[in-house]
Amino acid sequence: MKRELVCKLAEIYGCNPNDLIKYWLADKVYSILNDEDTAGQVIAMVAEEMPEYSKSSASTV
């Protein structure tokens, strides 16, 4: 499914598009990492590279 379709579905069902997009993205990530032994490490690496996560994790340490 493409992002545009997710947004259209949100519009049709009167849902928040950001909520549906989060679920859509989570499903995509899950399908890629599902069988990987290092999935947790990969997610941690990605989180470190994302500014909003690295700032929040730095403030909690």
Prediction pTM value: 0.69
What is the per-residue pLDDT for 51? 80
Location of structure tokens 């941690």: 44
Q: Structure tokens of 59?
A: 């403030």
pLDDT over 80 at 39, yes or no: yes
Contacting residues for 16 by C-beta, under 8 A, at least 6 apart: 10
Q: Give the whole-angstrom CA distance, residue 39 versus residue 30.
A: 9
pLDDT bracket for residue 56 (50, 70, 90)? low
